[in-house]
Amino acid sequence: MSAGLAVAIAVLAFALITIAKGVRLVAQGEEWVVERLGRYHVTLRPGLNIIIPFLDNVAYKLVTKDIILDVQQQEVITRDNAVILANAIAFVKVTDPVKAVYGVTDFSEAIRNLIMTTLRSIVGEMELDEALSSRDKIKARLRESIADEAVDWGLTVKSVEIQDIKPSESMQRAMELQAAAERERKAAVTKAEGEKQAAILEAEARLESARRDANAQVLLAEASSESIRRVTSAVGSEPGPMLYLLGEKYIASVEKLAQSDNAKVVLMPADLQETLRGLVGKLGGRG
């Protein structure tokens, strides 16, 4: 191999490798941080970029699209000492690539941990019921609290969503028991109230029937007094008809006596007329 050929091959290799290392195509949605001799030099934007391969070094390749950060589930204790499980999802965007790579070792991990601890402190100030029902409030406060740290790391927290917030298993069991007990209490109260109502209604029914019975007795008495009055006025001073009526009744009752099973001997007064007259006379004497 001649010296000329060797040099030509060397020059070719040099040119190829230099251009290969110097021409950088950055895709849309990415930004590359370039260091020159170990110090930050420039940020490559999407498109065709040329760097000097021997001085410059692409140190970091950053995604500048929104990053979806899954904040893992964690146990959080509320102010009333209830344990709940919460996880969140955050959308973060790198707005300053230099701060993001030099400000913190791993910005994704950093912001994730920050969200976890902040979530814990926010929920820690709330009662269980409040925490379960006010997701929006948690979201707003979370975003506010993270803002200051995000500045140092060149990140913008676009939104933080509480994905899941639920009581721990033992807490859930206790809540279910509480709910069941509450239902049972209501059932017992309803039953007792029904019984009370029934007793009152029964008593009222008795009172009403007694009142009507009394009325009926009064009416009956009035009716018999009226009938007696009428019979009296019809009979007048003549004892004949009265004797007839009385005699008829007397004989009818004696007949009934004779028909009964246990008394076969029936005594009839010999002087029926005098007996009746005695009765009437007594009545007449009184009236």
Helix H or strand E encompassing 8: helix 3-22
**Pairing relation of β-strands 23-26 and 155-167?**
unpaired
Residue closer to another protein (CB basis): 59 or 279: 59
Query: Nearest to residue 89, comparing CAs of 167, 166, 29, 142?
Result: 142
CA dist 218 and 222 (Å) reads 6
For residue 66, the minimal CB distance to another protein (Å) is: 8
Contact of 102 with 75, CB cutoff 8 Å: no
Contact of 55 with 36, CB cutoff 8 Å: yes
Residue closer to another protein (CB basis): 128 or 162: 162
Q: Where are the alpha helices (DSSP H) in 153-271?
A: 169-235, 239-259
For residue 14, the minimal CB distance to another protein (Å) is: 9
Backbone angles phi, psi at 266, to 5 degrees: -120, 125
Collapsed DSSP state (helix, strand, coil) of residue 89: strand
Residues that bind another protein in the complex, under the rule CB under 8 A = 2, 4-5, 7-9, 11-12, 15-16, 19-20, 23, 25, 28-29, 31, 43, 45-50, 62, 64-65, 91, 93-97, 143, 146-159
Token pair, residue 121, equals 């402190």
For residue 76, the minimal CB distance to another protein (Å) is: 23
Residue closer to another protein (CB basis): 37 or 48: 48
For residue 118, the minimal CB distance to another protein (Å) is: 13
Residue closer to another protein (CB basis): 103 or 247: 103
* Upper half-sphere CA count for residue 227 (Cβ side, 13 Å): 5
Residue closer to another protein (CB basis): 16 or 200: 16
Residue closer to another protein (CB basis): 94 or 122: 94
Token pair, residue 220, equals 């009956």
For residue 105, the minimal CB distance to another protein (Å) is: 18
- Length, in residues, of the chain: 287
For residue 57, the minimal CB distance to another protein (Å) is: 17
Residue closer to another protein (CB basis): 97 or 167: 97
For residue 163, the minimal CB distance to another protein (Å) is: 17
For residue 36, the minimal CB distance to another protein (Å) is: 19
CA dist 275 and 287 (Å) reads 18
Residue closer to another protein (CB basis): 15 or 251: 15
Distant-in-sequence, close-in-space partners of 31: CB < 8 Å, separation ≥ 6: 43, 44, 45, 46, 61, 62, 64, 94, 97
